[in-house]
A and B are shown apart, each in its own frame.
Chain A
Amino acid sequence: MNNLKKNKIIDSSFKTLGIFFTLLGVVILIILLYNIIKVGYSRVNWEFLTSLPSRKPENAGIYTAIIGTLDLMLLTIIFAIPVGVGAGLYLEEYAHKSRLSRLLEINIANLAGVPSIIYGLLGLGIFVRFFGFGGSILAGALTMSLLILPIIIVATREAIKAVPSSLKEASFALGASKWQTLSKVVLPSSFGGILTGIILSLSRAIGETAPLIVVGAMAYVPFVPHSIFDTFSVLPMQIFTWTTRPQAGFAIAAAGAIIILLVITFVMNGIAVYFRNKWQSKLQ
Chain B
Amino acid sequence: MAKQIAITMETKIEQTLPMDKIVDKALKKTHTIEVTDAKVWYDDFMAIQGIDMVIKPNTVTAFIGPSGCGKSTFLRLFNRMNDYVDGFKMEGKIKVNGRNIYKDKIHVEELRKEIGMVFQKPNPFPKSIFENVAYGLKIQGIKDKKLIAERVEKALRQADLWEDVKDKLKKSALALSGGQQQRLCIARTLAVEPSIILMDEPTSALDPISTSKIEDLIFELKEKYTIIIVTHNMQQASRISDFTAFFYLGKLIEFDKTKKIFTNPEKQQTENYITGRFG
Contact = CB atoms under 8 A, between A and B. Distances in A.
A185 B135 CA distance: 10
Interface string A160-176: 00001011011111111
Contacts, number: 69
Interface string B190-219: 001000000000000000000000000000
Interface residues of A, number: 20
A98 B123 CA distance: 30
A177 B107 CA distance: 10
A172 B111 CA distance: 11
Given A175-B112, A175-B113, A175-B192, A170 B125 contact: yes
A184 interface: yes
Nearest to B185: A170
A283 interface: yes
Contact of B86 (A97, A167, A170): A97
Contact of B135 (A166, A169, A174): A174
A189 B126 contact: yes
A180 interface: yes
A110 interface: no
B259 interface: no
A170 B81 contact: no
Contacts of A12: none
B252 interface: no
A174 B119 contact: no
B112 A172 contact: yes
A169 B123 contact: yes
Interface string B105-148: 00001111100110101011111000000011011100000000
Contacts of A284: 126, 172, 174
Contacts of B121: 166
Contacts of B79: 173
Nearest to A170: B123
29 contacts: A164-B123, A166-B123, A167-B123, A169-B81, A169-B84, A169-B123, A170-B124, A170-B125, A170-B188, A171-B125, A173-B79, A173-B112, A173-B116, A173-B119, A174-B112, A174-B135, A174-B189, A175-B109, A175-B112, A175-B139, A175-B140, A176-B109, A176-B135, A176-B139, A184-B135, A184-B138, A188-B126, A189-B126, A283-B126
Given A174-B139, A189-B126, 17 more contacts: A164-B123, A166-B123, A169-B81, A171-B125, A171-B135, A171-B139, A173-B81, A173-B119, A174-B136, A175-B136, A175-B140, A176-B109, A176-B135, A177-B109, A177-B139, A180-B139, A184-B138
Q: Which 7 A-B pairs have the closest CB atoms?
A: A173-B117, A174-B136, A166-B123, A175-B113, A175-B112, A283-B126, A176-B139
Interface of A: 97, 164, 166-167, 169-177, 180, 184-185, 188-189, 283-284
